[in-house]
Structure 1
Amino acid sequence: MLSNIRVVLVQTFHPGNIGSTARAMKTMGLSDLVLVNPRAFPDDEATRLAAGATDLIESARVVTALEDAVSDCVRVVGASARLRSLPLPHYDEPDDMAAALVEDCFHDKVALVFGRERYGLTNEEIACCSHQVSIPANPDYGILNLAQAVQVLAWEIRRTWRRHPQGAACVNRTAEERSPTREQMIHFQEHLSRIMQRSGFITQPHARTEAQLQALFARAEPTRKELSLLRGLLASLEGHIDP
């Protein structure tokens, strides 16, 4: 089920890094590449550095917003060197991240998101993710280029996938037991924000409060059934709030 694991590159500046990423992905059996507003693509340099992975270059999708790249994914992990810049759950070890992605990918789409070469992902982009991960490199020189970072995390995923008890992982989950997609979670968060404002809990949009609640529900990892119950509760409360 490695085809359910997506690699997303945000605003890649050097097209060669797209090609090197495709090569890193293919060596680990990954094939779903999505590009968010790349500076130059298609590009001969990307094709050249892809070496034997030109099929991934040819099938890569280009979108204009990160939300469009991950809306159908149930777990979205942003790779960031800035630890805990937002209160999202953080994987302290990449193998923990890999275990979670592999478990989910037997049933649903998941994504690994990488930012720009110079400064990575913005806070707004990290907020589109459900989790964060960092590579525990040398603290005195923890500089990895984009394709190297993809290679390290993709290797962790493949290593976990090879060791995974695949028979146990393939136990069917009902639709209600599966994790909600990012699109479903975003609709819930927007609904919650609306109720908080209409009820007077907050008097204006409050980014910090909303980010903390996003982190709370990311840690809780509700199922689709549980999220539906929460949406029903919010709808009921909404009906008792004066217009």
Structure 2
Amino acid sequence: MLSNIRIVLVQTFHPGNIGAAARAMKTMGLTDLVLVNPRQFPDPEASRLAAGAEDLVEGARVVGSLAEAVSDCVQVVGASARLRSLPLPHFDEPDEMARDVVENAAHDPVALVFGRERFGLTKDEIGLCSHQVSIPANPDYGILNLSQAVQVLAYETFKAWRRRPESGYRPTLPAEERQPSREQVGHFHDHLGRVMQRSGFITQPHARTEAHLHALFARAQPSRRELSLLRGLLASLEGHLPEE
């Protein structure tokens, strides 16, 4: 579904903005980048600012017109200030747009179109779109950089996609950040109990004290890494205790 969502940049002036937009796309799982008459491309600055998304920059398709960029799309959303002179459907909120775009992208290509850094899309270019969307911002300073605008709409699109049950999205945590197994937690509490007794904190098994500590660590929900740090601390303390 995400592969059917295309980002189209029209006549981008600064090549670095192409790289920054590619980076914004990749963080949200979007990969289809089309450039309409960029002023300067390819360019080392585009690759430099991609910062890990160079593959999207290298795979970007360059075309001569917006019509060519969106000819196969069933929905084309132009990101711009609302032009009331054009009776296009308008999304006042990006999340509403994203839900609609993702629904259409389930079956066919769709496009999010962004205009030039200085003055956006022309009236004729908006006329090639099926919808408009605006990004609500501070009325006294509502200026977003091109890549910032791409990031906002890409994020809303990704959010709408991952909330669909069929997306199968599951955040991937590094192993050390995951919750420890019950076995690992059990070993920790056994270790803690030994240190408490050897240190003299408790002189005999004390179920109430141990239950309170079990509850404390259950509320804290330490990760595997944090549990490992705690066990390292206990091991260090053990090294300074008298032999039994």
SS in 2 for 1:30: coil
* Structure 1 residues without counterparts, runs of 5 or longer: 168-243
**Map 1:156-235 → 2, pairs under 5 A:** 156-166=156-166
Please give the TM-score of this superposition, normalised by the length of structure 1.
0.67
Query: How much has 1:82 moved relative to structure 2?
Result: 3.6
SS of the residue corresponding to residue 52 of structure 2 reads helix
Q: Distance in 1 between matches of 2:156 and 2:166?
A: 17
Larger radius of gyration: 2
2:25 paired with 1:25: yes
| C-alpha RMSD of the superposition | 1.0
Q: Distance in 1 between matches of 2:82 and 2:118?
A: 13
Q: How many residues align?
A: 167
Q: Percent identity?
A: 77
Aligned to 2:77: 77
1:178-225, Cα deviation, whole Å (9 max, x unpaired): xxxxxxxxxxxxxxxxxxxxxxxxxxxxxxxxxxxxxxxxxxxxxxxx
Tell me the distance in 2 between the aligned counterparts of 1:84 and 1:147: 25
Contact 2:79 2:112 survives alignment (8 Å): yes
Amino acid at match of 1:121: L
What's 2:119 paired with? 119
Please list, as runs of the form range in 1=range in 2, the aligned pairs for 1:228-243 lying within 5 A after superposition.
none
- Matched with 1:214 is none
Contact 2:10 2:38 in 1 (8 A): yes
Shift of 1:83: 4.2
1:18-167 aligned within 5 A: 18-166=18-166
Post-superposition shift, 1:81?
1.9
Which secondary structure does the structure 2 equivalent of 1:143 belong to?
coil
- If the length of structure 2 is used for normalisation, what is the TM-score? 0.67
What's the offset of the Cα at 1:84?
2.8
What is the DSSP-based 3-state SS (H/G/I as helix, E as strand, rest coil) of the residue aligned with 2:6?
strand
Counterpart of 2:2 in structure 1 is: 2
Structure 2 unaligned spans of 5+: 168-244
For 2:212, the equivalent position in structure 1 comes to none
Q: Is the Cα–Cα contact under 8 Å of residues 83 and 134 in structure 1 kept in the other structure?
A: no
2-side partners of 1:103 and 1:60: how far apart?
24
2:82–2:132 Cα contact (<8 Å) kept: no
**How big is the shift at 1:19?**
0.3
**CA deviation digits over 1:9-66, x for unaligned, max 9?**
0000000000000000000000000000000000000000001000000100000000
Aligned to 2:11: 11
After TM superposition, where is structure 1 displaced by more than 2 Å over at least 4 residues in a row?
Answer: 82-85
What is the letter of the counterpart of residue 138 of structure 2? N
